[in-house]
Amino acid sequence: MQCFQNVSIKEREHCFTEFYKMHDKNEQDAYLAGLITINNINKHKRRNRVNNKPLCASYSYKVRCFNTEKMVCVKAIASIHAVTLPRLKRIQLCIQRYEGQTYLPP
């Protein structure tokens, strides 16, 4: 994958190790929430969407290794931290719902 090229194997291993040193799932989720940025959609395109709901936001992702942050895709952040895409989706929804608050609910 192209987005993995930005992050070396040593950096991936460091991210993984530091992530799983965290005490519990809530701490991990709060950390992941800090790596996800919500971007507003400026222009809605007409599409044949199944549920006909327009997208309300797009997301950008980054990984934090050795005090630097690098942009990656959603599959890369999930793979590097060994989390599922539904878990990231739940965190995204929590970020949207509780935007501006410092506490991320479970």
Domain segments of the chain as ranges: 2-41+55-97
For residue 32, the model assigns a pLDDT of 94
CB-CB contact of 94 with 35 (8 Å): no
The amino acid occupying position 53 is K
* Exposure string over 76-94, b if 16+ CB within 10 A, otherwise e: bbbbbbebeeeebeebbeb
In tens digits, the chain (106 residues) has pLDDT values of 577 788 889 999 999 999 999 989 999 999 999 999 988 766 656 665 555 555 567 889 999 988 889 999 999 999 999 999 999 999 998 888 876 555 555 5
Burial (CB count <10 Å: 0-12, 13-18, 19+), residue 72: buried
Q: Which of 87, 96, 99 is nearest to 26 (CA)?
A: 87
DSSP bridge pairs for 37: 60
Instruction: Say what the pLDDT of residue 3 is.
Output: 75
Residue 100's pLDDT is: 54
